[in-house]
Structure 1
Amino acid sequence: MLTTAGPPPSPPLLLLLILLLITSPPPSNSLSFSQFQTLFSLSHSLMTRVANLRASRGDLSGSDRARLIAAKLKRATGLGFWGAMWSVGWDYVRNYSWRDFTASFEVRGAVSDLNELLRALNELTRMESPAERVEWVSRNYKNALRVSRSLLQRLLQVFGQSGPLREVVETVQKEVVEGELLRDCLELGNDDLKGLIQIFKDIALQFSSNPDRSHDL
């Protein structure tokens, strides 16, 4: 008679195993649950601010799109956090865990793009008045948009399979290209976007061949 090895792992245990696979680089470079939660929280805060900004200038359709994204992010910061992590984790394990990202041109290029965006955002956040920020955005928006589009295109190359990871990148890309999401974020001039970019850089560095973080800003 065949015997079973016992009941299958519970969903939380499966999630833990998946996250251990995702964070397979050295422990010192791994992201914690709190960092993932921070990622969702900052994204929600930023999209809520974008929605309010668009509404204030009469862009109701753009505001509605931003609020819809913010609502989805809010669910992911609460009881839906584990479900979101499960969905993303399974997408990664199924489509990408077998890939060697260490020598990936796209990942290394993404780190470079993220560094350039961080330098720009550090400069922006030093602007002391709304007038200075408006002038800065006017001078630097085209370059920041160029870098952002390059970054998103690289991420689409990395996440080439249909699933939650690619859907997130496609959603952001559409808002950046068609909805001027980047301009809205720059005009807000707060630290939410800079915090997000730093977390994305930490994630990219996990899969980069260059672990040196001496260029952190």
Structure 2
Amino acid sequence: MAKTKPQLPHHPSPPPLSPPHYHHNNNRYKTLFSLSHSLLTRVSNLRASRGDIAGSNRAKVIAQKLERGLGFGLWGLSWSVGWDYAVNYAWSNFDYRELYGAVSEMNELLRFLGELTRSGSEAGRATWIAGNYKNVLRVSQSVLRRLVKVFHQSGPLKETVEIVQREVAEGDLLSDCLQLGGNDLKGLVQIVKDLASQFYSSSSSSTSQDDYNSDL
């Protein structure tokens, strides 16, 4: 006689992230915004100090886009609305392989940035950058390409990633961030990686549960 699966009661899958996570992730978003704004302002000042007024203005424009786009789209009326947006819109129907690859590469990028922040003196940072910049650039560009694919739906997150991607490729944004010491950039990468990892794990669990329930 063929074996049959036990008829377990069907329970709807939980949402990707349950309410207790909201406040924690909203704080992460606040920190992400604050670090981004601070870093871009410092990049703008660094460029202005060496006479690169056009580059300084581009950094200011990115900061303004963050404030207008992400500030309104993610944090406009309340932080919980911002997190709902991220879950239900920006992260919806993403490519699991691209998100997994982005998380893996962000771990590699964090290792690089950890080395930079431990290098100590300005001379030590300059030596480290000279020897490692190509590898850091390669990983950073790969992460950005993956995130553009993850945020495949038009919106402020996708537009922001695309703007940063262009500035890294054409404006030496990464080089400027590294020259400033790497701490702010490391903090940004860590927050994005943590959010991506959390959502990937939660969504994977939800998908597995849905697949199991569909077989019952």
Which interval holds the TM-score relative to the shorter structure? 0.7 to 0.9
Residues paired across the two proteins, number: 187
What is the root-mean-square deviation of aligned Cα atoms in Å?
3.1
Distance 1:83 1:138, change over 3 A: farther
**Structure 2 residue 181 is matched with structure 1 residue 189:** yes
Aligned residue number for residue 211 of structure 2: none
Indicate the residue corresponding to 1:46 in structure 2: 39
Aligned residue number for residue 107 of structure 1 = 99
1: distance between equivalents of 2:55 and 2:108? 27
Name stretches of at least 5 consecutive residues in structure 1 with no aligned partner: 1-20, 212-217
Q: CA deviation at 1:94?
A: 4.3
TM-superposed deviation, 1:156: 1.2
Report sequence identity in percent.
53
Secondary structure in structure 1 of the residue aligned to 2:57: helix
Structure 2 counterpart of 1:81: 75
User: Does residue 205 in structure 1 map to residue 200 in structure 2?
Assistant: no
1:15-34 mapped onto 2 (5 Å cutoff):
24=17, 27=20, 31-34=24-27
1:65 and 2:55 are equivalent in the alignment: no
Q: For residue 58 of structure 2, what is the amino acid of its counterpart?
A: R
Partner of 1:82: helix, strand, or coil?
coil
TM-score by length of 2: 0.75
Q: Quick check: 1:117–1:147 contact (8 Å CA) kept in 2?
A: yes
Asked if 1:93 corresponds to 2:88, the answer is yes
Flag structure 2 segments of 5+ consecutive residues without an equivalent.
1-14, 204-216
SS where residue 200 of structure 2 aligns?
coil
- 1:95–1:55: structure 2 CA closer, same or farther, 3 Å change rule? closer
Amino acid at match of 2:196: A
Deviations 1:15-61 (A, max 9, x none): xxxxxx6x626956984322111100000000001001111111111
Are residues 84 and 49 of structure 1, via their aligned partners in 2, closer, same or farther at CA, if it must alter by over 3 Å? Answer: farther
Q: Which structure shows the higher helix fraction?
A: 2
Which one-letter code corresponds to 2:188 in the other structure?
L
Show the counterpart of 1:122: 114
Shift of 1:160: 1.4
Distance 1:202 1:25, change over 3 A: farther
